[in-house]
Chains A and B, each alone.
Chain A
Amino acid sequence: MIFYVIRRLLAAIPTLLAVLTLVFVIVRIVPGDPAIAILGDRATPAAVAALQAKLGLDRPIWEQYVTFLGRSLSGDFGSSMVTNRPILTDVGAVIPHTLDLTIAAMLIGTIIGVPAGVWAALHRNRAIDVAARLLSLIGLSFPVFVSGIFLLLAFALHWRIFPVIGNANLADPVDRLTKLVLPAATLGLVMAAYITRVTRSAMLQVLDEDYMRTARAKGVPWRRVVWRHGLRNAGLPVVTVVGLYVGILIGNSVLTEIVFNRPGLGKIIVGALNQRDYTMLQGLMVIYCFLIVVVNLLTDLTYGLIDPRVKQA
């Protein structure tokens, strides 16, 4: 296992470099001079030149690139142009909220999605299956800001079961939890829809396999055959999708945070967009890149845990 982990870690390096290069290119190909964009059209040439020097924009492009890579890899993501605070300080302040939301959404998605997918596969083309397919398609079709607003209208404004404002007091567990329910449900239900579909089709492919019949013939109880022999083999595609889903989850969490007015990475990115805070945007994109590479790494490592064959490959 240790060699597998090391190999995966080494393989993540080129990906990280490639993603960082993409960020560098995206920020640079945008037309217009960032210094002029920040200072406005009426800025004096001297002021523009001074800001360009401060941002390092007057140096050759390869030098900018090397500096950018070096800083990013050493964990220096820069400071906000507007507040001058280090980006990591701002991000660190909202991390607990973001983690609460992401973990809760993943739990809801898995707890509903996996059993629903297995159940639908076992009752292929029967009423349960048709209902599961239709519900998951509807779940997938909801943009999260629409489902978020609908949940808000129903449970916070009409029935008044949950609070409207989502800025939770982290020290108070009850407050933290009640303010988490609606946002987590918004994100988690979409995720459950994805997982149901993938689990269902992965299970359908496994159900006809010889080893399932053999286990059955040996007298292993059906329940055990499905959950131990079936689901373990159907697990790889499910984990892949959950890993890929993190990209969508990040985008969806931006919308959820806006609807429920929760602090988080999403609100920071929208704030930076409104203030044209370029250094903040670049730093946030780098942080997203690290996040994605780490998630891909975790997905790979999970493969190794589920399927011992992967480690030897």
Chain B
Amino acid sequence: MTVAILALQGAFAEHGYMLDRLSVDHFELRQKKDLERPFDALILPGGESTVMGKLLLELGLFAPLRERILSGMPVFGTCAGLILLAKNVEHDKSHFATMDISVKRNAYGRQLGSFYIEEEMQGVGRIPMTFIRAPYIEAVSGNAEILATVNKKIVAAREGNQLVTAFHPELNDDTRVHEYFLQMIK
């Protein structure tokens, strides 16, 4: 099993460390020729969604990756990665728009609003959650299901092959969310 980590900008290396700990093969996806390497799943990391959205288009990665996501390849988006997958982004344009969720960017305000909490995630258990200038999900529709809420805001969801968290499991010392994702890869 090989996982590609989108490495255009942001905290992609941290996802790699998590996969190293789980002894899972992975590589960084930076440009079109990297798509020639076989991979079974994709991680969209935290960072700035505006930057990644733009570079996906400029580097010719957008259409091929969207096609793979639509055809069922497991994908895991954290923070900015969640925004990339959402069909609706409040006051902003959507990117892959493959997942039936509505998202509010910078929903907790500026850096002073960033926070850490421990909460329950369905199918995973009680886990550390780090929110950095994070979005939250305002609503899910269609087949998307809620996996976690914090203070009544939706912060994790899944729709078939797509898993998203508004927080950063890659920043804490707990590999359980990554393990959950790896179980989605058949």
A and B physically associate: no
